[in-house]
């Protein structure tokens, strides 16, 4: 999987553009929000303080994995944080995305111990937010972390997505922001995407994590890009966005990196 991710990054980087090659106002706005906005928010520090504490914790959890990640069994909290939680860059990009979109409703598939959840909830404190987590012990940690930050607009539900997803979609519909990070297999990812589409509206933004994690996930991302309802995708490698808005008249796919990654591209 590591060799696949390296190969995919080289392909991604080779085909990526910077802000200077973006002519779509919506895509340019997304790029500004996620990778050009250098503003620092207090929420970043709040979440990272909790991350550091968890990375030093030897608390043992019964880790249950319904996806294609780690095997189920006993895991220390620090192991789960190191292997499963969103990175600081991912978290900050999720915050900036939610801050830019200002959604009224959000759905997350895969809370883990709540790192990404805290970033999203901190950016949209008035949004109705449901996050789903298969591992009951991880869900309990996520709830505790949200309580520490006083993020009361989030409901953490534990259980398999096949059981929890439909009720959450029924309650949230129409959902404005969907973050899929809970099952790194092709068939479930596509199935959950289809279910979420039924509760979407034209302005809904779908966010995918780890589309280059494995050949299977990359194939899933390619199918999503080719989906009849997807009008545009914007790929930042560690986070990938799919739009279904009819404002895009032609199906387009963008790979975007910060301009300082390709300083020679000023045209």
For 84-103, the pLDDT digits (tens) are 888 999 999 999 999 999 99
Give the pLDDT band (50/70/90) at residue 267: low
Does the structure show a pLDDT above 90 at 264? no
Helix (H) or strand (E) holding 62: strand 60-63
Integer distance in angstroms from the first to the last C-alpha of the chain?
A: 35
Helix (H) or strand (E) holding 131: strand 128-133
Answer left, alpha or beta for residue 254, where phi above 0 means left and psi between -120 and 50 means alpha.
Answer: beta
C-alpha–C-alpha distance, residues 80 and 70, integer Å: 9
3-state secondary structure of 204: strand
According to DSSP, residue 184 is labeled -
Q: Considering the chain, what is the average pLDDT of its residues?
A: 92
pLDDT tens for each residue of 208-219: 998 999 999 999
Mean pLDDT, rounded, for 95-115? 96
According to DSSP, residue 140 is labeled H
pLDDT tens for each residue of 35-87: 988 899 999 999 999 999 999 998 999 887 766 555 567 889 999 998 888 89
Determine how β-strand 200-209 pairs with β-strand 175-180. Answer: parallel
CB 176 within 8 A of CB 103: yes
Q: What's the pTM?
A: 0.94
Which among 161, 30, 59 is positioned nearest to 108, based on CA atoms?
161
Mean pLDDT, rounded, for 159-178? 96
pLDDT value at position 73?
A: 78
- Cis peptide bond N-terminal to 98, omega within 30: no
Determine how β-strand 239-243 pairs with β-strand 200-209. Answer: antiparallel
Q: What is the dihedral of CA 259, 250, 208, 183, to 10 degrees?
A: -150
C-alpha–C-alpha distance, residues 144 and 150, integer Å: 10
Helix (H) or strand (E) holding 149: none
3-state secondary structure of 176: strand
67 vs 27, residue with greater confidence: 27
Does the structure show a pLDDT above 70 at 135? yes
């Amino acid at each position: 999987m590591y060799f696949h991710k390296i190969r995919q990054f080289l392909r991604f980087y080779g085909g990526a553009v910077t802000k200077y090659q973006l002519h779509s106002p919506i895509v340019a706005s997304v790029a500004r929000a996620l990778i050009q906005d250098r503003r620092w928010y207090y929420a970043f520090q709040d979440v990272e303080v909790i991350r550091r504490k968890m990375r030093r914790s030897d608390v043992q959890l019964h880790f249950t994995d319904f996806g294609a990640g780690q095997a189920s069994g006993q895991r220390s909290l620090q192991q789960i944080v190191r292997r499963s939680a969103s990175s600081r860059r991912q978290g900050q990009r999720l915050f900036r995305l939610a801050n830019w979109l200002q959604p009224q409703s959000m759905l997350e598939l895969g809370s883990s111990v709540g790192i990404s959840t805290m970033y999203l909830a901190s950016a949209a404190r008035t949004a109705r937010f449901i996050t789903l987590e298969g591992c009951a012990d991880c869900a309990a940690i996520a709830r505790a972390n949200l309580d520490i930050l006083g993020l009361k607009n989030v409901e953490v539900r534990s259980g398999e997505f096949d059981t929890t997803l439909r009720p959450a979609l029924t309650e949230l519909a129409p959902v404005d922001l969907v973050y899929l990070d809970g099952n790194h297999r092709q068939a479930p990812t596509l199935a959950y995407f289809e279910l979420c589409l039924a509760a979407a509206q034209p302005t809904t933004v779908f966010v995918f994590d780890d589309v280059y994690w494995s050949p299977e996930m990359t194939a899933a991302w390619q199918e999503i890009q080719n989906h009849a309802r997807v009008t545009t995708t914007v790929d930042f490698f560690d986070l990938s966005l799919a739009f279904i808005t009819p404002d895009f008249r032609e199906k387009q796919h963008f790979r975007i990196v910060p301009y300082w990654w390709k300083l020679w591209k000023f045209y």
